[in-house]
């Protein structure tokens, strides 16, 4: 097996652990990169997250080049850590 190659069994273990953690969590803070829009990985994590206990945090709003998608999550915050914008909403 080459350097940097992750065996399928390890990937399955990580996926199972992530799914279990998302199910057991009281609160999920899901930070997404607004400069990249919604990636395939982001979409997958959203499908695994329970909307009622997930806060979707769009970071890097100062670099967002397009409109963000409409998500069916009741708790969403748009911030820019670099520009110190929207951070009060996280409190």
pLDDT per residue as tens digits for the range 48-66 = 999 999 999 999 999 998 8
Predicted confidence at residue 64, as pLDDT, reads: 93
- Using pLDDT thresholds of 50, 70 and 90, give the confidence band for residue 20: confident
Best-predicted range by mean pLDDT (22-26, 38-42, 65-69): 38-42
Mean pLDDT of the chain: 89
Quick: pLDDT tens for 68-86.
Answer: 999 999 999 999 999 999 9
Of 90, 68, 69, nearest to 79 by C-alpha is 90
**Strand (E) positions, 20-83?**
28-33, 54-59, 75-78
Q: Can you give the pTM of this predicted structure?
A: 0.81
The encoded tokens of residue 69 equal 């998608």
């Amino acid at each position: 097996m080459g350097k940097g190659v992750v065996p399928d069994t390890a990937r399955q273990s990580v996926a199972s652990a992530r799914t279990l953690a998302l199910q057991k969590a009281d609160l999920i803070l899901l930070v997404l990169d607004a400069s990249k829009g919604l990636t395939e990985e982001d979409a997958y994590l959203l499908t695994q997250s329970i909307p009622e206990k997930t806060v979707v945090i769009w970071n890097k709003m100062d670099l967002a080049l397009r409109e963000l998608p409409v998500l069916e999550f009741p708790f969403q915050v748009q911030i820019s850590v670099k520009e110190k914008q929207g951070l009060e909403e996280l409190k």
